[in-house]
Amino acid sequence: MLLNSMKGNEKIKEKKAQWLKVALTTAKRVILRHWAGKNNPTYSEWLNALTETASYEQLIYKINGRMDIYTEIWEPFLTQIRDG
């Protein structure tokens, strides 16, 4: 899965940590949208927000010519969404 520890591959661990930070920040944003309301945030709302964030990140990495890094960070998530 996405957060498995892989011994001897620090680069992969670093990219997973980057993705996790983005995923948690996105979850916090979704929670804040519902903070004073009666409805609870949903998994699908978080998933949609995270997918939207992935699109923004893709644009930023593409502009900066760093699609290789984007792919390393986001590919496990995008594969899970596509295949899942």
The verdict on residue 32 lying in a domain is no
Please state the pTM of the whole predicted model: 0.79
Q: Which domain holds residue 59?
A: 14-24+42-83
What's the mean pLDDT in 77-82? 91
The verdict on residue 8 lying in a domain is no
For the chain, percent of residues with pLDDT exceeding 70: 86
Contacts 24+ apart (CB under 8 A), 54-58: 54/78, 57/22
Separation CA 70–CA 82 (nearest Å): 17
What's the mean pLDDT in 30-59? 95
Domain count for the chain, please give it: 1
Separation CA 8–CA 81 (nearest Å): 27
The verdict on residue 3 lying in a domain is no
Predicted local confidence at residue 64, as pLDDT: 97
Closest of 18, 11, 84, 12 to residue 54, by C-alpha:
18
Question: pLDDT tens digits for 3-33?
Answer: 444 455 666 688 889 999 999 999 999 999 9
Q: Are 73 and 15 in contact (CB under 8 A)?
A: yes
The verdict on residue 71 lying in a domain is yes
The verdict on residue 1 lying in a domain is no
